[in-house]
């Protein structure tokens, strides 16, 4: 006997075949919407996390960049100070820290994003900074090389300048020995006597005695001023030489030594002048870089 209600699925399905199709469709569509909702939620969460991570990375990148720029700023300031100091030597003290190799590893996309791509003033200041500091890594080696080069040039001319010692001593004594009439020792001082008409040696000896008595030139056997030695002794000796050069063979050899000393002194002074100009040019490069750093908000 058949039951009033038949719950056999097969019988029900056979009786209503479209019902399961609709049920399957509804379940499928619901699954799609549910999956989309979950995916959307996960995507938004990942986006939020990515934005947060990107923000943290930008912040970290900017902090590192600021610290490196600050360190560079301090090194530049110290180097400018050293270049401003007066020195009697050509040794240029090089300050450690003037190095911009960190620019190669800096993520400038993050830096510009942190500044704000619409912040035109800050972007321009940063661009100017990059232009002014990009070549600074070469400065330390350049300063060392400049110091070495100027020192070599100065030493070369200085060796020639030392010919003044011959004019003060060995050359004069050589002439005295060849032209003396007599020589005597008075209170420990050697006095030469020449022929009455030997005006060249008489003027040479008088100028030499005057130079040794001038303590602004020589004191306690040491040269006080190379400038005064050259102008008050060597140049004046050349004036004496020129009066006798046509009639006295010894005046010629004296002239050669004197001209060597004068030329060497002038060259030494020129080396010092150009050296100061070179220091000034490096100082100006560093000052411009320093001003560019100050124009940004990186060290504020």
Number of domains present in the structure of the chain: 2
In this structure, is residue 98 part of a structural domain?
A: yes
Enumerate the β-bridge partners of residue 219.
Answer: 222
Residues 162 and 93 in one domain: no
Q: Which of 43-57, 143-157, 221-235, 238-252 has the lowest average pLDDT?
A: 43-57
Looking at the fold, whether 214 and 237 belong to one and the same domain comes out as yes
C-beta of residue 265 within 8 angstroms of C-beta of residue 226:
yes
Cβ count within 10 A of residue 81: 12
Question: What is d(CA 200, CA 188) in angstroms, rounded to the nearest whole number?
Answer: 25
> CA torsion sign, 208 to 210 to 214 to 220?
positive
Cβ–Cβ contacts within 10 Å for residue 256, how many? 13
Residue 34 lies in a domain: no
How far apart CA 62 and CA 202 sit, in angstroms, is: 80
- Locate tokens 């399957």: which residue? 24
In a domain, 9, yes or no: no
- Indicate if 196 and 272 belong to the same structural domain: yes
Q: The pTM is what? A: 0.75
Q: Please indicate, yes or no, if residue 31 is contained in any of the structural domains.
A: no
Give the rounded distance of the alpha carbon of 93 from its chain centre.
Answer: 10
Task: Flag whether 209 is in a domain.
Answer: yes
Asked if 139 and 165 sit in the same domain, the reply is no
Q: Can you tell me the distance from the alpha carbon of 146 to that of 150, in angstroms, rounded to the nearest whole number?
A: 6
pLDDT per residue as tens digits for the range 167-208: 999 999 999 999 999 888 877 777 888 898 999 999 999 999
Tell me the mean pLDDT in the region 101-119: 85
Name the residue range of residue 54's domain: 42-149+281-294
């Amino acid at each position: 006997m058949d039951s009033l209600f038949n719950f056999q699925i097969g019988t029900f399905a056979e009786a209503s075949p479209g019902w399961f199709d609709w049920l399957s469709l509804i379940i499928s569509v619901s699954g799609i919407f549910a999956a989309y909702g979950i995916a959307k939620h996960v995507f938004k969460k990942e986006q939020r996390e990515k934005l947060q991570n990107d923000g943290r990375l930008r912040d970290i990148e900017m902090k590192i960049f600021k610290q490196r720029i600050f360190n560079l700023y301090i090194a530049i300031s110290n180097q400018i100070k050293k270049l401003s100091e007066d020195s009697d030597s050509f040794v240029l003290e090089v300050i450690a820290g003037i190095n911009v190799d960190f620019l190669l590893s800096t993520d400038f996309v993050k830096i510009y994003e942190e500044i704000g791509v619409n912040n035109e003033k800050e972007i321009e200041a940063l661009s100017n900074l990059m232009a002014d500091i990009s070549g600074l890594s070469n400065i330390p080696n350049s300063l060392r090389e400049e110091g070495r080069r100027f020192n070599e040039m100065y030493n070369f001319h200085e060796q020639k300048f030392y010919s003044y010692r011959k004019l003060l001593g060995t050359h004069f004594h050589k002439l005295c020995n060849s032209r003396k009439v007599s020589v005597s020792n008075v209170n420990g001082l050697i006095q030469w006597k020449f022929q009455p008409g030997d005006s060249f040696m008489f003027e040479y000896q008088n100028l030499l005695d005057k130079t040794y008595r001038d303590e602004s030139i020589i004191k306690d056997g040491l040269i006080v001023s190379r400038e005064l030695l050259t102008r008050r002794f060597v140049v004046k000796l050349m004036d004496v030489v020129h009066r006798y050069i046509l009639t006295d063979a010894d005046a010629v050899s004296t002239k050669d030594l004197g001209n060597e000393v004068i030329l060497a002194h002038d060259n030494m002074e020129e080396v010092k002048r150009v050296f100061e100009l070179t220091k000034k040019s490096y100082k100006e490069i560093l000052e411009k870089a320093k001003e560019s750093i100050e124009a940004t908000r990186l060290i504020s």
